[in-house]
Homo-oligomer: A and B are copies of this chain.
Amino acid sequence: MSIRPVYFVSDGTGITAETIGNSLLTQFGDQAFECQRLSFIDSLERARQIAATIRADGESRGVQPIVINTIVDGEMTRELAASGALVLDVFEPFLERLEQALGQRRQPRVGRAHAMVDPEAYERRMEATNFALTHDDGVDLDYDEADVLLVGVSRSGKTPTCLYLALHHSLRAANYPLTPDDLDADRLPEKLRRHRRKLFGLTIDPSRLQKIREERKPGSRYATLEVCKREVAIAEAMFHREQIPVLSTTHTSIEEIASKIVARIGLRRPSYF
């Protein structure tokens, strides 16, 4: 079967086109796709150029390309028809129904969805990101200003999750690594007790953890399956005893973990994707 080219075409970043495109393609899992994003297509000339490129790609492969399009301008979008591709216009099916429901015509604005529309909200996002960076694995830190506090053994996935929560949900996400001392003491560290309602426990399958630690510190005791099993067991028992909600990172992406945390804390401020 020939590989089918898929183009995410946009007058902005192309993130919306790629997001919905990927979601659609996951529903056709048996097919082989080669995806490419064409962003900032902002003139008739560029639209014509890419239509020609896409046509040539389809012809050389002998298969009809797919275009997932979020260009707002009708004239530019019409140029894409010359590509011979199956062009799926992401917004088109919804705009008329929205116009009717809202009693207003849409204002075609180019590439606004991922632009810096609200500088103050953007500052909060960047500030949250800095917070996550400076409150990463820091045992001597103060968590009063944190919105969320992730707890878990070393390499359970706390740091990327915190960064994601900050970048996409403007959450001040801190993390606390359970140290060998904490695990030996087998009780929730004193400094975390004051922040119970912010706590989320991360856990991970010990054999997966062992693999991750082995890559980081090959041959160390820290990376043995025995130590991984013991640490995870103590941490999980602690979370259970202290009624801290637990999320496993073994088969769960940071997007999913973050979504679960956000759902749990009932966040109502805007997110950024």
A-side residues, CB < 8 A to B, are 4, 12-16, 18-20, 22-24, 26-31, 34-40, 64, 66, 70, 72, 86, 88, 90-91, 93-95, 97-98, 101-102, 104, 106-109, 112-117, 122, 126, 129-130, 133, 136, 157, 159-160, 163-164, 167, 251-256, 258-260, 262-263, 268, 270-273
Contacts and interface: CB of A to CB of B under 8 A. Distances in A.
B273 A18 contact: yes
A66 to B, nearest CB: 7
A16 B90 CA distance: 12
A163 B129 CA distance: 9
A110 to B, nearest CB: 10
B66 A101 contact: yes
Contact of A91 (B27, B167, B252): B27
B101 A94 contact: no
Contacts of A163: 129, 163, 167
A107 to B, nearest CB: 6
Contact of A28 (B13, B107, B272): B107
A271 B37 contact: yes
Q: Give me the 8 closest cross-chain CB pairs, A-B, nearest first.
A: A93-B93, A114-B255, A13-B259, A23-B113, A27-B106, A116-B253, A26-B112, A19-B19
Given A86-B97, A253-B116, A72 B27 contact: yes
Contacts of A117: 26
A185 to B, nearest CB: 28
Contacts of A24: 91, 94-95, 98
A102 B28 contact: yes
